[in-house]
Structure 1
């Protein structure tokens, strides 16, 4: 009788095979994993995540398969999103730039223009909230939103980053080093080196670094633009990510300290990060920045006892989705 440990491919399958068996495109499958709709397990051979056959059977036996699963990962851009919410595309863009509609992914088109995509399910939920009717039906948006947009406000990139770090930490599971690496990958390398001074620890972070979405050939203008979008940039956001990294590093050191005096193992991910030329001391963990309001980030902040200045409840707006993180 064969043992379970000797037949992993009979019990699990690769993501590409799982996507085919679930009648999903690969992008839809990846999004479903990010949203926690499809559970994955580590590959014992170190080859990434896999999907248990039992999980595929569970999803295939669900009511309305595969249509319901596809609906939950359906994404739309500005034009289709505006149609779903029955507003003009300009109104949709204003709400998104102010942070009331949170993108779930993005891509860069042939002109290197960023195209943000949103979950159709969330847009329907937002439009169905009676308290959001003034934002959708009024001839003019609230003054605070108009003033913010006049000042050049665009919270879509940081909203995506805040949401994506939730995806990455969920995938990291109970591995404290993987959770720390999930936070670190959205920071500039100089900030990571400033927070994590120990080169051995930075090597472990580099080894655990998750893969971020690829856009364009490495080193291309498209890839550089995407990297900029995926790196925390606003001062309060950077401070929060730095503090979160320091916090997750404390847990990683406590549970699995890196032995001192031993050379770091060669990383399988990107090369270790070099320290900046003149590092600044790490401040005490600050409160989270005043981030974008709805869809998970708001409720996440509220669980930490903070009410952001941009809280949409000022306008009678309610969050439309549980926290992603």
Structure 2
């Protein structure tokens, strides 16, 4: 989509909805106005390249007119914006860096190349995607030349031989950054951390069941990979849940801190207290003989039962 087309779409949207001070745009419309595919727009938001604001409760997020104008005023728009969210897989990434696919995979497993997205293909294999700009920057840094052209150091080869693969963990770290940027509430920030932990870990950290229930209200929606319960969904679930002991430990510590902070700002709602009985007014003063009469009736029934 050319810059002229983008300008025409933006002008048309402005004419339909009023001046730049009007209501923010929904994600789909903002993507069209900015000349992006919806997947490109979502990634740009994920990376913080496009700032969003919360809509009405439960209504998702939107993009303000001022933010649209800020992006459009950037040099090289829209080509620079689209180039900044271009992703590549292993084959294209290796060609871009001028290395073999095997070396590219080793660099990624060592955590030197950080994936920004993933999906599970029809063969149930995980396909990792990387930002093309980040790969160019890595390849263009002279300090990385030994890793790109030289022999992999013995220590790193040993780690790879033992099965080291930091791609899932690096993706989780990147995803958590996105969730925290989108969190506008202290409990939402705590829920963002909790979303990367298993249910057992969350229960062990957050002992109060009412706080756990409140956390679930703010639980971010996880990316969808396949139908619920499918092999693809199960593989994705494993990737989205921390597994390494040290990673789990620091997430647990972060969750405890986040919940403590949220609790100080706004305690989680507990069970509703039973209404206290209303004291009788002057017009409802009980009869002084009512309670003694009830007691006599009760004793009479007991005596009759004993005599039977």
Superposition TM-score, scaled by structure 1 size: 0.76
Number of residue pairs the alignment of both structures matches: 255
* Mapped contact 2:194–2:202 kept (Cα < 8 A): yes
Tell me, in whole angstroms, the C-alpha distance in 1 between the residues paired with 2:161 and 2:57: 53
> Who is 1:242 aligned against?
252
Tell me, in whole angstroms, the C-alpha distance in 1 between the residues paired with 2:194 and 2:121: 27
Tell me, in whole angstroms, the C-alpha distance in 1 between the residues paired with 2:43 and 2:115: 12
* Mapped contact 2:214–2:269 kept (Cα < 8 A): no
Written as runs of structure 1 = structure 2, the 5 A alignment for 1:32-181 is 32-138=44-150, 140-173=151-184, 175-181=185-191
Written as runs of structure 1 = structure 2, the 5 A alignment for 1:166-315 is 166-173=177-184, 175-262=185-272
Tell me, in whole angstroms, the C-alpha distance in 1 between the residues paired with 2:47 and 2:22: 26
Deviations 1:159-198 (A, max 9, x none): 111111111001114x110100000011001111111111
The SS at the match of 1:11 is: coil
Deviations 1:271-300 (A, max 9, x none): xxxxxxxxxxxxxxxxxxxxxxxxxxxxxx
The SS at the match of 1:84 is: helix
Tell me, in whole angstroms, the C-alpha distance in 2 between the residues paired with 1:113 and 1:179: 31
Larger proportion of helix: 2
Unpaired stretches in structure 1, ≥5 consecutive residues: 1-6, 264-325
1:261 CA drift (Å): 3.5
Deviations 1:235-278 (A, max 9, x none): 11111111110011111011111244439xxxxxxxxxxxxxxx
Relative contact order higher in (CA < 8 Å, ≥ 6 apart): 1
Unpaired stretches in structure 2, ≥5 consecutive residues: 1-18, 274-308
> Who is 1:316 aligned against?
none
1:121 CA drift (Å): 0.8
Q: Which is greater in Rg?
A: 2
RMSD: 1.7
Tell me, in whole angstroms, the C-alpha distance in 1 between the residues paired with 2:60 and 2:100: 43
* Mapped contact 2:198–2:242 kept (Cα < 8 A): yes
Q: Is 1:15 aligned with 2:27?
A: yes
The SS at the match of 1:46 is: coil
Tell me, in whole angstroms, the C-alpha distance in 2 between the residues paired with 1:258 and 1:230: 26
Deviates more, 1:86-95 or 1:253-262: 253-262
* Shift in alpha-carbon separation, 1:98–1:178, aligned structure 2, 3 A: same
> Who is 1:291 aligned against?
none
* Mapped contact 2:20–2:66 kept (Cα < 8 A): no
1:61 CA drift (Å): 2.6
